[in-house]
Amino acid sequence: MFSQRVDRILKASILGGGAVLTVGALVLYFGMRNDVTDVGYRPQQPVPFSHKLHVGELQIHCQYCHAGVEVSEHSPVPTTSTCMGCHIVIKAESPKLQLVRDSWEKGIPIQWRRVHKLPDYVHFNHSRHIRAQIDCQSCHGNVEIQGVIAQNKPLSMGWCLECHRHPEKNIVAARPISGIFTGEQLPENYREHLFEPINSNLVQGVALRVRPISSPQFGAWETDVPTPTVAGIPHPKLPGYGPENCSACHY
């Protein structure tokens, strides 16, 4: 046994060590989240390109440069020729565009720094989301007021799921500036119609009527989740909602 002083020191150090560990764990847990570590990622790009100027002031649609995003899994980074389409005449002598002109002449692509990056095992399909009239801003933030582009959302799986579960709370509806055309001019009150499938009687009615996925004979928890089926097999995606099954994004 030790002296009373050592006893007190030991007890205090155990309590103190526990407290330090707890605080450390909490700091790690909350500090390592994507919305802390990744949001605001703003790398210096080789060319001082301003989205604020091009989108915000010049009102160029997103799809003008990121062409083909509505039919592709990926949103393309514009080629040098897209830039030069205008800049061959506009600001043709600007020293800021020297790198673009070099790239144009030598045929070597500009090495843009990628900002939004998902892990390899996640398949995010741009075209599906655009066809659902989800505006670019939902995931990329207010691009038209940003000079140098930055990551605006955490892009974590929880963030994806949050929107798949509650699209009506998270999605910014398609705006004309994004260039998401649905074939006809949007009416003034277009926002009210954007989530028609979700708010429609179809879904509401289904949600009320449909029995739980699993029969309650095994003690299944009663659920009001509707079960759309394809050829009798429950389909994981509910109309209007994003799918929540693993293989929707990890395939």
**Of the candidate residues 1, 89, 90, 208, the single one contacting other proteins (CB under 8 A):** 1
**Of the candidate residues 79, 146, 244, 248, the single one contacting other proteins (CB under 8 A):** 244
Q: Is 6 in the site for other proteins (CB under 8 A)?
A: yes
CA-CA-CA-CA torsion for 178, 77, 149, 132, nearest 10 degrees?
A: 30
CA-CA-CA-CA torsion for 240, 246, 249, 251, nearest 10 degrees?
A: -130
From 3-11, 106-114, 145-153, 180-188, span contacting other proteins (CB under 8 A): 3-11
From 45-53, 68-76, 132-140, 210-218, span contacting other proteins (CB under 8 A): 210-218
DSSP 233: E
Q: Whole-number minimum distance, CB 243 to other proteins, in Å?
A: 11
Q: Is 234 in the site for other proteins (CB under 8 A)?
A: yes
CA-CA-CA-CA torsion for 92, 98, 100, 106, nearest 10 degrees?
A: 110
> Phi then psi for 134, rounded to 5 degrees?
-90, 125
Q: Whole-number minimum distance, CB 119 to other proteins, in Å?
A: 11
DSSP 5-16: HHHHHHHHHHHH
Q: Whole-number minimum distance, CB 185 to other proteins, in Å?
A: 38
Q: Is 11 in the site for other proteins (CB under 8 A)?
A: yes
Three-state SS string across 183-229, please?
Answer: CCCCCCCHHHHCCHHHHCHHHHHHHHHCCCCCCHHHCCCCCCCCCCE
Instruction: Please give the residues from 80 up to 139 whose contact with other proteins meets the rule CB under 8 A.
Output: none
> Which run of H or E residues covers position 229?
strand 229-230
Q: Is 2 in the site for other proteins (CB under 8 A)?
A: yes
From 52-60, 128-136, 196-204, 215-223, span contacting other proteins (CB under 8 A): 215-223
Residues making contact with other proteins (CB under 8 A): 1-4, 6-7, 10-11, 33-34, 154, 156-159, 161-162, 213-214, 218-221, 223, 225, 234, 236, 244-246
